[in-house]
Structure 1
Amino acid sequence: MLHLQAPVGQDLPMFFLTTGVLFAFLLLFESLVRKFSISGFLLRKVLHLTVGIFSFFIPVFFGSNFYPVLIAAIFLVFNGASYFFGLLRTLDERNPKGHGLETEPRSFGPVLYPLAFMLLALLFWDGNIWILRTSMLVMGVSDSLASLVGGSLGKNHIANMAHSRKTVEGSLTMFVSSFLLLASCLFLFRDAFQEGLEGAGALEILFFALLLSLIATAVEALFSRGFDNLLISLAVAYVLYLVTMHDSGYLAHFLFGGLFALLLAFFSVRVKFLDNSGASATFLLGTTIFGIGGLHWTVPLLTFYILSSILSKLGRKRKSRFDLVFEKGSQRDAGQVYANGGIAWIIMIAYSLTGDPAYFFAYLGTLAAVQSDTWATEIGTMWPNPRARLITTMKPVPVGTSGGVSFPGTFGAFVGALLICASALLVSVDWILDYGIFRSFLLIGFSGLLASLVDSFFGATVQAQYYDPVREKVTERTHSRRQDGSLVRNRLIKGYHFVNNDVVNTLCALCGSALAYFFSLSM
């Protein structure tokens, strides 16, 4: 829980000193940018690194979190004003892409950096202050080093990763520096460990540092525009807290789950189920689900992943005529992983912090929803001579049209949802058995089916649909490519630009989880 402690009188001089030093650094770097034309990007990363080290030592000098939180709030407001009004070039200059030849959109990093410290100080100052110190050090130092190395020395770009171009050199720097810092902190703070890490041996701690470094590296690779400043620190803090709060056997369980998720991600890229961004997102999702939830939570997720991935690859020749209609192909990216698994991910995190079994039904509901939606699309397009009707008017539409439904697709959606429930029964989940097998099938089956119909409704009403002037057909794609390779922007004819297929899938997943959760409580 967020907790702001009462101010300590002796902290007041240190508050003024710390605030003054940080503003002095800002003014010094700003003068270097304006008078000597030194790169604002370079100085911002040096400031990023320096504040990360400084944040590591702040708890040593303050008796409560009141003034540190106040300092973070001051810079949150100041940096936000600088972002919107362009007060400081050091904070507002755009990041370079690749080798500095291009620029990417302005970063929210200067705003999210103090927000990250504020949240961690409110969460962990009582009893787990070492988690705050470790998380801020990794984010501050490793992320800045990764940006510096990737921006100046990076030559090998990672395909299909984030909106900003990530490099092998930058990600390797992130991994190595994170590992060295995490291993050092874990050994340094061994006396402060509780439960899960208290009896861990040196080898276990090193393996844990390796896994946590991979998590931090995946987060840094996936997120850009400064959001990694917030998410790296929160991800590291969450895992450290979770492992610390459980018994001594939990660490080995979490390490095995992380290893399994890593192998699954590599396998998925190898067989072209996922691209690089999708594999990274799957590693993060899988580590959370496999490492925390164990077999009961793992089997339903694997059921969705394996069956839906195989189904997406089947009938490729028959479905090829729809490739230019759908926004994305069968090789999933991070956006699709978030859309299909993001709600399940959030539910798993909520369960790990509360232990409420109702979240398990919500988890099955969201997996049933995305499996129903996937199966409805795949079976509906593979079926010989299918006939589809628009869900809002029941008028015939071409198969593959957003919002179109067919009997084979709807039947496939219901079967797909039932298989999610069956997978939970396969591993004898007590909550399912206590609730009743028949009732569970009804609950999960209809939650998935209804959510897939909601997906079709949104697809017919608000999802963006475009007219492709090259092929003269309706498509979900924003651009088309001519035979000469040039891109043509397609014309929006229905829906809203920001409502793409991933947004609709996310709404479908959210609907399935909500239906299963609330009906499990009422039935």
Structure 2
Amino acid sequence: MTAQKFLFLLLVTFPSSMILWLSNAFLSSTVGGEVVSPVRWLNATLLPILVACWGLRRHSVSFSGAVAGLIVGFLLTLGSYAFFINLLVFFVSASRATKYRSALKRKFEEDFKEGGERNWVQVVCNGGVASLMSLFYILDCGCGEQPIDLTYNYSCSWLNLAVLGALSCCNGDTWASELGTVLTSANPVLITSLKPVPRGTNGGVTVVGLVVSCLGGLVVGLGHYLTLLMMVSDSVMISAPSQWPIIIVGALGGLVGSVIDSLLGATVQFSGVDSKGRIVERGGDGVVWISGSHILDNHAVNLISSLLTAVLLPRLAFLVM
């Protein structure tokens, strides 16, 4: 990004963040509540713009996707910098995973899009649940980073883990579908019947895919953990439970989210193969049915998987934290 573009962003975002901060300060002084620092308002507006610009330059998002990403990024960054890092890790790693060995994916994916450019629907379905949980976090816990403590600070910890669950699910599923299909030559098996199916089939799983889904969630959890180490004071961290299990919880979120996505894909999402050997999500002339039915599309499956993982992961976290 050139110096002129960066200066323009500052000229746009700085007044906007100051207006938001002054509005927050006025409302807090009249009705009571927390005053969010102007630095957080500035970062919540500037950082998502920088990420959106990077995504547009890399053709990882369309213009509509970038606009939706600004809203998602604003809510997450305002809530906690750990949430922003969760989003950043997902966005960067998922974009790279989507572009990995794209020539091979083009052969068996009907809706293959060069560069994996995401529109606003995809951004909302992948980041909408996390944004909603972050909004609840802001309203219930305020703005700022808090360590996970499921015993003495359950509500805020639940919402922290829900955001982590939503984004680790999305990253784990993306890694599984984008890397698992090209890192092994073996055909996947349908998760509901364990029968072999062609690569790219909704609901198809491989051992490699399950492993990389864990890794996809793990890197999101690692980002959350490192952000807490940097942003939370030592005195607070000392009195809190050990936070390193967040990394394991993130890996669990990636695996659980990928499995949920596969179960939905195998049952309520249509998969067929056309005359060119590509996997399609719609029936028609020359399309041979493989699995599933016409109930949900891929966007809806991603949204529901993210929501279910966000709800389940805080309960599963009791196993390791």
TM-score, normalised to structure 1, is: 0.49
Tell me the distance in 2 between the aligned counterparts of 1:211 and 1:464.
Answer: 48
Matches of 1:385 and 1:491, distance apart in 2:
22
Equivalenced residue count is 285
Q: Residue type matched to 1:453 in 2?
A: V
Q: What is the rounded CA distance, in whole Å, between the counterparts of 1:439 and 1:519 in structure 2?
A: 12
The Cα of 1:279 is off from its aligned counterpart by: 0.8
Structure 2 unaligned residues grouped into runs of 5+: 1-10, 142-155
- Is 2:254 the counterpart of 1:254? no
Superposition deviation, residue 506 in structure 1: 1.0
Tell me the residue number matched to 1:419.
219
Match of 2:116 among 320, 325, 330: 330
Distance 2:237 2:267 in 1: 36
SS at match of 2:122: helix
Partner of 2:268: 462
In structure 2, the residue matched to 1:518 is 315
Aligned partner of 2:16 in structure 1 is 208
Residue 374 of structure 1 aligns with an amino acid whose one-letter code is T
Matched residue, 2:276: 471
Q: CA deviation at 1:454?
A: 1.1
Q: Which amino acid aligns with 1:310?
A: R
- Find the aligned partners of 2:27 and 2:44 in 1 and give their Cα distance: 17
Alpha-carbon separation, structure 2, partners of 1:205 and 1:312: 31
Question: Kindly tell me: are residues 396 and 428 of structure 1, through their superposed partners in 2, closer, same or farther at Cα, counting changes over 3 Å?
Answer: same
Query: 1:150-165 counterparts in 2 under 5 A?
Result: none
Letter in 2 for 1:263: L
Aligned counterpart in structure 1 of residue 174 of structure 2, from 374, 377, 400: 374
Out of 111, 131, 137, which is 1:345 matched to? 131
Identity %: 28
> Shift of residue 489 of structure 1?
11
Matches for 1:38-437 after TM superposition, within 5 Å: 207-208=15-16, 244-245=27-28, 250-290=37-77, 292-324=78-110, 330-355=116-141, 356-428=156-228, 434-437=240-243
Asked if 2 retains the 8 angstrom alpha-carbon contact of 1:362 and 1:516, the reply is: yes
Instruction: Please say if residues 443 and 516 of structure 1, whose CA atoms lie closer than 8 Å, have aligned partners that are also in contact.
Output: yes
For residues 120-142 of structure 1, what are the alpha-carbon distances to aligned partners after superposition, in whole Å with 9 as ceiling and x for unaligned?
xxxxxxxxxxxxxxxxxxxxxxx
> What displacement does 1:210 show?
9.5
Query: 1:19 — aligned with what?
Result: none
CA deviation map 1:28-68 (0-9, x unaligned): xxxxxxxxxxxxxxxxxxxxxxxxxxxxxxxxxxxxxxxxx
Query: Closer, same or farther in 2 for the Cα pair 1:335/1:248, shift >3 Å?
Result: same
Please state whether the residue corresponding to 1:382 is helix, strand or coil. coil
Deviation of the 1:277 alpha carbon? 1.4
Kindly indicate whether the alpha-carbon contact (under 8 Å) linking 1:466 and 1:478 is maintained by their aligned counterparts in 2: yes
Using the TM superposition, give the Cα deviation of residue 351 of structure 1 relative to its aligned residue in structure 2, in angstroms: 0.3
Paired with 2:227 and 2:196, the residues of 1 have a C-alpha distance of 42
Alignment check: 8 A CA contact 1:325 1:477 kept: no
Contact 2:170 2:302 in 1 (8 A): yes
State the SS of the aligned residue for 2:189.
Answer: strand
Which structure has more relative contact order (CA 8 Å, sep 6+)? It is: 2
How far apart are the structure 2 equivalents of 1:475 and 1:243? 54
SS of the residue aligned with 1:402?
Answer: coil
Deviates more, 1:346-355 or 1:325-334: 325-334
Residues 454-476 of structure 1: per-residue CA shift (max 9 Å, x gap): 110110110133554x6365412
1:428 alignment partner, SS class: helix
- Whether contact under 8 Å (1:281, 1:337) holds in the other structure is yes
> How far apart are 1:504 and its partner, in Å?
0.7
In 2, Cα distance between equivalents of 1:334 and 1:491 = 31
Give the unaligned 5+ runs of structure 1: 1-202, 213-238, 480-487
Q: Which of 300, 303, 312 pairs up with 1:506?
A: 303
Quick one: distance in 2 between partners of 1:509 and 1:357?
18
Partners of 1:304 and 1:204 lie apart in 2 by 26
TM-score using structure 2 length: 0.77
- Relative to 1, partners in 2 of residues 1:473 and 1:443: Cα closer, same or farther, differing over 3 Å? closer
